[in-house]
């Protein structure tokens, strides 16, 4: 039993991200001393049977199929938007206008215009004490949070290079079905928005420098895929029914930050053999650091002040009690996993909401990522022409 107030949460969506968010809402207060206890009040899905089953499986007290009714309920404090990208704008704005704090999965929206509208709504809500955050969970990896501390302390000196990759292979097979993530009307973009958004955000999070312009390209390796409902069947003509893939399979682009650093980015879902290889390396005048999520508890750091005969990258195992977030968990050396990044995200969000502090990353941060992705798309359409990042006044 606890005398702490409850923070009643409604979650819209329950698939991959919904499952990750659910375990975080369940466990954050069990490992972190939070000012309120999250209550998994209601899960909302498209159909009654699937929503009820998901609610039972993921630990939610109730299920629903009408997100508008859920958002309008007086007994809900927070709305967690874990549904596909084409729904983010409408749900998040409605929730903020109803006085609910909002956690919205990345990318923030499907277009810059949608993201700008969401930022405007979040700004208006903040004036009423209602807060919003976009869910870039990798910021809460202990090793990356430590990397940010080192950069902010000046340990790397003047930044010269940002080198970022996100490599997956889950759609290499051309028989993989045409799921919603491969449709522009639902997902907004492909590898660029799904995984590229993460490394765009991390580059900014770690360095504090934003891209001023980019030159890039988008690539689609498989043009058509089996329609999910027909993936195992045949069309009337005797062949398998297929649909057009309308997003990118991969992207590569380079840019320059407002601080003068040269940045290169790659995001692909066609890196055969790579499951979730999210990598970032920073090179500065005084040192370097490197991170690979497939070794997520480790940070590689090079100190340029060490004599050359004794220099080299050293491994920091980010599991010590004074490393970011790690002290809430296990003894040193007992590593954390992917799911812990979401627990850390929820813990920070709950603290900020209860303190009346604007959570980070903000919707404005999500808008910046959207603006970079928009510039990459425009550059690719113009034969990789150098394209400036168009930023609104927000």
From first CA to last CA, the distance across the chain in angstroms is: 43
368-386 residue pLDDT tens: 999 999 999 999 999 999 9
**Could you tell me the residue range of the domain that residue 227 belongs to?**
142-295+297-336
Instruction: Summarize the chain as % helix, strand, coil (round to 5).
Output: 40, 25, 40
| Same domain (yes/no): 62, 211 | no
Q: How large is the C-alpha radius of gyration of the chain?
A: 21
Residue 360 lies in a domain: no
| Same domain (yes/no): 55, 149 | no
| Same domain (yes/no): 85, 127 | yes
Whether residue 219 is predicted with pLDDT greater than 70 in this model: the reply is yes
159: CATH: 3.30.360.10
| Same domain (yes/no): 105, 157 | no
Mapping DSSP to helix (H, G, I), strand (E, B) and coil, where does residue 53 land?
helix
Residue 383 lies in a domain: no
| Same domain (yes/no): 113, 158 | no
Residue 367 lies in a domain: no
| Same domain (yes/no): 238, 202 | yes
| Same domain (yes/no): 115, 195 | no
58: CATH: 3.40.50.720
Residue 373 lies in a domain: no
| Same domain (yes/no): 205, 308 | yes
Whether residue 243 is predicted with pLDDT greater than 90 in this model: the reply is yes
Residue 377 lies in a domain: no
* Domain termination site, one of 336, 365, 387: 336
* Domain termination site, one of 122, 138, 154: 138
> What total of structural domains would you count in the chain?
2
| Same domain (yes/no): 197, 316 | yes
Whether residue 232 is predicted with pLDDT greater than 70 in this model: the reply is no
Residue 355 lies in a domain: no
* Domain termination site, one of 138, 154, 188: 138
Q: What is the mean pLDDT of residues 194-223?
A: 98
User: CB count, 10 Å around CB of 174?
Assistant: 13
| Same domain (yes/no): 171, 91 | no
pTM: predicted TM-score of the whole model, two decimal places:
0.95
Strand ranges (DSSP E) for the chain? 6-12, 37-44, 62-64, 78-81, 101-105, 132-135, 159-167, 211-219, 224-226, 242-244, 250-257, 262-268, 277-284, 287-292, 298-303, 314-317, 387-388
Whether residue 54 is predicted with pLDDT greater than 70 in this model: the reply is yes
99-137 residue pLDDT tens: 999 999 999 999 999 999 999 999 999 999 999 999 999
Give the β-pairing of 159-167 and 132-135. unpaired
Q: How many helices (H) and strands (E) does the chain have?
A: 11, 17
Residue 392 lies in a domain: no
**Nearest 10 degrees: CA dihedral of 106, 324, 298, 300?**
100
How far apart are the C-alpha atoms of 310 and 303, rounded to whole Å?
10
Residue 259 lies in a domain: yes
Query: What is the per-residue pLDDT for 30?
Result: 98
- Cβ–Cβ under 8 Å, residues 156 and 284: yes
| Same domain (yes/no): 185, 324 | yes
How far apart are the C-alpha atoms of 284 and 261, rounded to whole Å?
9
Entry field: residues in the chain: 394
Query: What is the per-residue pLDDT for 2?
Result: 73
DSSP single-letter state for residue 358 = P
144-171 residue pLDDT tens: 999 999 999 999 999 999 999 999 999 9
Q: What is the mean pLDDT of residues 305-319?
A: 95
- Cβ–Cβ under 8 Å, residues 343 and 350: no
| Same domain (yes/no): 308, 249 | yes
Whether residue 240 is predicted with pLDDT greater than 90 in this model: the reply is no
How far apart are the C-alpha atoms of 365 and 292, rounded to whole Å?
23
pLDDT band at 235 (very low <50, low <70, confident <90, very high): very low
């Amino acid at each position: 039993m606890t005398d702490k107030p409850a923070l009643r949460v409604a979650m819209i969506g329950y698939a991959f991200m919904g499952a990750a968010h659910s375990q975080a809402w369940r466990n954050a207060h069990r490992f972190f001393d939070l000012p309120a206890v999250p209550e998994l009040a209601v899960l909302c899905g498209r159909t009654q049977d699937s929503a009820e089953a998901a609610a039972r499986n993921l630990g939610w007290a109730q299920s629903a199929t009408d997100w508008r009714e859920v958002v309008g309920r007086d007994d809900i404090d927070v709305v967690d938007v874990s549904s596909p990208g084409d729904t983010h704008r409408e749900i998040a704005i409605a929730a903020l206008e109803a006085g609910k704090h909002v956690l919205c999965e990345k990318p923030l929206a499907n277009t810059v215009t949608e993201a700008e509208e969401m930022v405007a709504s979040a700004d208006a809500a903040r004036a009423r004490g209602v807060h919003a955050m976009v869910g870039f969970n990798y910021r809460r990896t202990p090793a990356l949070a430590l990397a940010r501390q080192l950069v902010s302390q000046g340990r790397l000196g003047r930044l010269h290079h940002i080198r970022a990759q996100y490599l997956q292979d889950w759609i290499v097979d051309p028989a993989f079905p045409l799921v919603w993530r491969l449709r522009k009307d639902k997902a907004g973009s492909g590898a660029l928005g799904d995984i590229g958004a993460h490394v765009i955000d991390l580059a900014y999070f770690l360095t504090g420098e934003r891209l001023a312009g980019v030159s890039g390209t988008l690539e689609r390796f498989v043009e058509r895929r089996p329609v999910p409902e027909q993936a195992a069947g045949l069309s009337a003509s005797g062949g398998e029914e297929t649909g057009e893939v309308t997003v990118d399979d991969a992207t590569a682009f380079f840019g320059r930050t407002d601080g003068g650093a040269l940045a290169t980015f790659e995001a692909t879902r066609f890196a055969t053999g790579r499951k979730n290889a999210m990598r970032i390396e920073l090179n500065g005048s005084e040192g370097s650091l490197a991170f690979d999520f497939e070794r997520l508890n480790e940070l590689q750091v090079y100190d340029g002040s060490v004599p050359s005969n004794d220099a080299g990258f050293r491994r920091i195992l980010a599991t010590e009690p004074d490393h970011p977030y790690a002290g809430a968990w296990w003894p040193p050396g007992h590593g954390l996993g992917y799911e812990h990044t979401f627990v850390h995200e929820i813990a920070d969000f709950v603290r900020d909401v209860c303190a009346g502090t604007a959570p980070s990353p903000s919707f404005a941060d999500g808008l910046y990522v959207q603006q970079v992705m928009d510039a990459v798309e425009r550059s690719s359409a113009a034969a990789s022409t150098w394209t400036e990042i168009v930023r609104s006044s927000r």
